[in-house]
Amino acid sequence: MADVITKTSPVSGEKLAEFPITAPEEVEAAVSRARQAFAAWSARPVEQRLATLMKLQVEILARGEDYAARISQDTGKPLVDSLLTELMSIPLFLSHYRKLAPKVLRRRKVATPLYFPGKKSYIEYFPMGVVGVISPWNFPFQLSMVPVISALIAGNTVVLKPSELTPISGEIARELFGLLDLPAGTVEVIQGDGRTGAALCRAEVDKIFFTGSVATGRKVMAAAADKPIPVELELGGKDAMIVCADANLLRAAKGAVWGGLLNCGQVCTSVERIFVESAVFERFVELLEQELAAVRVGGPDERADMGPLVFAGQLETVERHVREARAAGARVVAGGERLDRPGQFYAPTLLLDVTPEMSVYREETFGPVLPLIRVDSVDEAIRLANAHSFGLTASVWTADRARGLSIASRLECGQVMVNDVLSSVGNPALPFGGVKSSGFGRYHGPDGLLTFVHTKAIMVSGDKAASEPFWFPYEKKYADMLETFRFMLGGKLLKALGPLRRLNRINAEAQAARERRPDKG
């Protein structure tokens, strides 16, 4: 097992740095440090935990550009993407949770059904313990920091394993948490590949939050089953875009290009299947070609719209999908090849005549490729969109927002946007996650805190009465117990007062008789 990660530039291919891989025994040690920190960190009131974490906001707003430049070095993405879609998500979530978290996490009183007279009911939450966060390379900073911060706010301590493909972003996380007043061990960052990730899953963690591929998600879940501990799986997507005949086609074309090519298409919620109603198909293709031709491709210092693929493996996947689509009859009307320059650059690509049998339709391409499918009706588009193993995000484009909302309700996925793409993942008020092979669990919004706590029910009774109507002894109570249940379940609560009084009287008589007995056994 190589003991270092060698990081190379996705833009130039040159070697940037080496990062020591955390050995399995060191993974255990990191988890035990996080375990030791748990008592002190979880004992802090949530307002205090938030106040400590808010210092990240100050630091990121003060030195965001420096951090963004390093994330762009790590991924090759344009500086504006590193700033807006990676870094600024943290202040956004912190500001949102600062107001929301105390409300979501505090104990709350809930209504007690009338057939529990005199009782009071509460719901309370408590942190899980040590959370393992395993993150991917496409948004290496945001997809590490948001789950880590959410878990911390909920009172857990965290061991983070960033992707071996983007270790620089992992080091930024380590540096940022090192600036905070945290008990030692509250946040541990370990570096390494799948073996380090597997070691983390085997270690004594209390929950695993995983973002990555379906194949690896299955391995993580299998490892968690050995304990068993809860997992959240944020996996891939093959997001559908439905363009209705009445849509603003120019807006939809611009949305398709940004939604499909942001981060060079390496987004789990990237547009990866575009269904267009026949009546507007040709016009939409023209607009797409214009928009694609205007996309500037290059490295972070080239003022580009779109950078390279993060690693060679992803470039090979994209090339394979396009090659296989071509061989199966798809038409390449734009792009369709890597750019002739150092680094992993691929041309913005538009495919027509794509069919559900093609790999570019079935599998997550995770690259700058827009496959178009002509449909005769919106119903056909909805049927095709749903007939897929993935179910993460979708978008619907129509002039009629009410119709867009009703189409959204028919789509089997975790998020839908009407006349927009991607942005709901940046809305801290909305839950995020997938269905089917896109995974399960939700984070962001209130769910993003509740996914990192256990729920506790509390019911409180007074202690004045010496007993309860349904407690022992049962002798002579049977008829009244049944009658009480019948009245209560039938909603005739006042009628239940009679048999309840008799049950309490039987209890009192039984107690009095016991006290009269000389043995009082």
- For the annotated catalytic residues, the residue numbers are 234, 268
Q: Using the CB atoms, write b or e for 452-467: b if 16+ within 10 Å.
A: bbeeeeeeeeeeeeee
Beta-carbon contacts of 16 under 8 Å, excluding residues fewer than 6 positions away, are 7, 8, 9, 73, 168
Q: Which of 163, 273, 266, 232 is nearest to 433 (CA)?
A: 232
Q: Which of 51, 41, 21, 29 is nearest to 184 (CA)?
A: 41
How many Å apart are CA 159 and CA 204, to the nearest integer? 11
Q: Which of the residues 225 through 284 are near ligand TXE (CB under 6 A)? A: 234-236, 268
Residue 413 contacts residue 392 (beta carbons within 8 Å): yes
Integer CA distances (angstroms), 399 to 379, 419, 423, in order: 17, 8, 19
Integer CA distances (angstroms), 428 to 46, 272, 359, 420, 432, in order: 18, 24, 33, 17, 9
Rounded to a whole number of angstroms, the minimum distance from the CB of residue 365 to ligand TXE is: 8
* 132 contacts ligand TXE (rule: CB under 6 A): no
Applying CB under 6 A, among 83, 130, 160, 198 the residue interacting with ligand TXE is 198
Which one of the spans 106-114, 190-198, 346-354, 408-416 is the region binding ligand TXE (CB under 6 A)? 190-198
Rounded to a whole number of angstroms, the minimum distance from the CB of residue 7 to ligand TXE is: 14
Instruction: Note if the bond before 348 is cis, omega within 30 degrees.
Output: no
Which one of the spans 18-26, 44-52, 132-140, 352-360 is the region binding ligand TXE (CB under 6 A)? 132-140
Rounded to a whole number of angstroms, the minimum distance from the CB of residue 348 to ligand TXE is: 18
Residue 46 contacts residue 153 (beta carbons within 8 Å): yes
Rounded to a whole number of angstroms, the minimum distance from the CB of residue 198 to ligand TXE is: 4
* 359 contacts ligand TXE (rule: CB under 6 A): no
- Orientation of helix 194-202 relative to helix 214-225, angle to 10°: 30
User: What character string, x for contact with ligand TXE (CB under 6 A) and - otherwise, covers 396-435?
Assistant: ----------------------------------------
Q: Which two three-digit tokens encode residue 222?
A: 């299998």
Give the residue with the Cβ less far from ligand TXE, 104 or 134: 134
Give the residue with the Cβ less far from ligand TXE, 21 or 500: 21
With tokens 């009084």, the residue in question is: 501
Which one of the spans 109-117, 158-166, 378-386, 484-492 is the region binding ligand TXE (CB under 6 A)? 158-166
Applying CB under 6 A, among 206, 232, 272, 364 the residue interacting with ligand TXE is 364
HSE-CB at 87 with a 13 A cutoff on CA atoms is 27
Which one of the spans 135-143, 144-152, 252-260, 461-469 is the region binding ligand TXE (CB under 6 A)? 135-143
* 117 contacts ligand TXE (rule: CB under 6 A): no
* 317 contacts ligand TXE (rule: CB under 6 A): yes
Rounded to a whole number of angstroms, the minimum distance from the CB of residue 313 to ligand TXE is: 7
Rounded to a whole number of angstroms, the minimum distance from the CB of residue 51 to ligand TXE is: 31
Rounded to a whole number of angstroms, the minimum distance from the CB of residue 148 to ligand TXE is: 14
> Edge to edge, what strands does the sheet with 349-352 contain?
331-334, 349-352, 369-375, 271-277, 239-243, 393-397, 415-418
How many Å apart are CA 390 and CA 388, to the nearest integer? 5
Residue 338 is classified by DSSP as B
* 216 contacts ligand TXE (rule: CB under 6 A): yes
* 169 contacts ligand TXE (rule: CB under 6 A): no
Give the residue with the Cβ less far from ligand TXE, 123 or 312: 312
Applying CB under 6 A, among 76, 155, 197, 300 the residue interacting with ligand TXE is 197
Integer CA distances (angstroms), 252 to 149, 233, 249, 276, in order: 34, 30, 5, 10
Beta-carbon contacts of 416 under 8 Å, excluding residues fewer than 6 positions away, are 393, 394, 395, 396, 408, 424
Give the residue with the Cβ less far from ligand TXE, 205 or 411: 205
Which one of the spans 59-67, 156-164, 343-351, 461-469 is the region binding ligand TXE (CB under 6 A)? 156-164
Amino acid found at 219: K
- Residues that bind ligand TXE (rule: CB under 6 A) add up to a total of 27
Integer CA distances (angstroms), 258 to 73, 263, 265, 355, in order: 22, 9, 9, 23
* 390 contacts ligand TXE (rule: CB under 6 A): no
Nearest position to ligand TXE, beta carbon? 197
Give the residue with the Cβ less far from ligand TXE, 436 or 502: 436
Beta-carbon contacts of 235 under 8 Å, excluding residues fewer than 6 positions away, are 211, 212, 213, 214, 217, 268, 392, 434, 437, 438, 439
Coil, strand or helix: which one is 163?
Answer: coil
Give the residue with the Cβ less far from ligand TXE, 434 or 469: 434
Rounded to a whole number of angstroms, the minimum distance from the CB of residue 216 to ligand TXE is: 3
* 212 contacts ligand TXE (rule: CB under 6 A): yes
Applying CB under 6 A, among 314, 349, 415, 451 the residue interacting with ligand TXE is 314
Integer CA distances (angstroms), 250 to 215, 286, 287, 368, 397, in order: 37, 10, 7, 19, 11
Give the residue with the Cβ less far from ligand TXE, 128 or 309: 309
* 213 contacts ligand TXE (rule: CB under 6 A): yes
Rounded to a whole number of angstroms, the minimum distance from the CB of residue 312 to ligand TXE is: 12
Rounded to a whole number of angstroms, the minimum distance from the CB of residue 364 to ligand TXE is: 4
Site of interaction with ligand TXE (CB under 6 A): 134-138, 161, 163-164, 193-194, 197-198, 201, 211-213, 216, 219-220, 234-236, 268, 314, 317, 364, 366
